[in-house]
Amino acid sequence: MPELSPSTSTAATRILTESLYLPPITHIAQLLRYDEIQIEQYSHYQKASYRNRAHIGTSHGALLLSIPLAKGKNGHQAMRDVRISYNWDWQKLHWQSLHTAYRSSPYFEYYEADFYPYYQRRYEFLLDFNRALLDVVLGLLRHRAIINTTDRYIDHYDTVQLFDARPQSKAKDHRPIDIGTENEEMPYRQVFADRIGFVPDLSIVDLLFNMGNKTAAYLSVLSV
């Protein structure tokens, strides 16, 4: 596994964020600005969001991967109570999709072992699965942030020490998340760019598999 450059984040404040599945590149770039990450676990689950969805790059453009959820009114549940469904083998499908999309990328073989185990183990709760994958990503980026979860829901935080990044764009239609930078579409090498052009703000795995040990440097530019 190639060594990644350490994060350049020097922020002393905290960020409050939703729990996302293999988050978009711009979201990870945003997290790297902060030394403490607080994950919201008491807000109501929102359908068609990045909480259980991620986009990866394929020969046909952005492919949506969606984690099925246990039946019930998830929209009325706190995120911490949302359960994953295993009525069909979505883990196998997601991993096959990742393998097909990135097997010819320069760094897939280096990071394959870091992600594969999470598509073998069954997590009961979506929050826990997302957190496990986030730990993998931040570990590869050598960003040693303090990560915790909220102990209650607060609608509005009136403090300059906490940046509330909970509102997120919908994942149904692939659109980059606005993190307040002017270079969110800065191209990098993608497997199918010669066929379909550059696709911005895919899942962070797209950047890792294509850029490898240059990932942290790319994110530091987005994090200016």
Contact 137, 28 (CB under 8 A): yes
Q: Is residue 5 part of a domain?
A: no
What's the burial of 173, exposed, middle or buried (CB within 10 Å: 0-12/13-18/19+)? exposed
DSSP class of residue 207? Answer: H
Contact 192, 16 (CB under 8 A): no
Average pLDDT over residues 158-178: 66
Per-residue pLDDT at 155: 85
pLDDT digits (tens, 9 = 90+) for 91-143: 999 999 999 999 999 999 999 999 999 999 999 999 999 999 999 999 999 99
Phi, psi of 54 (to 5 degrees): -150, 150
Other Cβ atoms within 10 Å of 123 Cβ, number: 18
Structural domain tally of the chain? 1
Regarding predicted confidence, which is higher, 185 or 142?
A: 142
Which DSSP helix (H) or strand (E) runs through 30?
Answer: helix 25-31
Average pLDDT over residues 11-30: 89
Q: Is residue 168 part of a domain?
A: yes
Q: Is residue 8 part of a domain?
A: no
Q: How confident is the model at residue 222 (pLDDT cuts 50, 70, 90)?
A: confident
Q: Is residue 7 part of a domain?
A: no
pLDDT of 170 strictly over 80? no
What is the domain extent for residue 132?
A: 14-222
Range in 132-141, 166-175, 208-217 with the lowest mean pLDDT: 166-175
Q: How confident is the model at residue 168 (pLDDT cuts 50, 70, 90)?
A: low
Range in 51-55, 144-148, 158-162, 210-214 with the lowest mean pLDDT: 158-162
3-state secondary structure string across 98-150: HHHHHCCCCCHHHHHHHHHHHHCCCCCEHHHHHHHHHHHHHHHCCCCCEEEEC
Q: Is residue 19 part of a domain?
A: yes
The pTM for the full model equals 0.87
Contact 38, 16 (CB under 8 A): yes
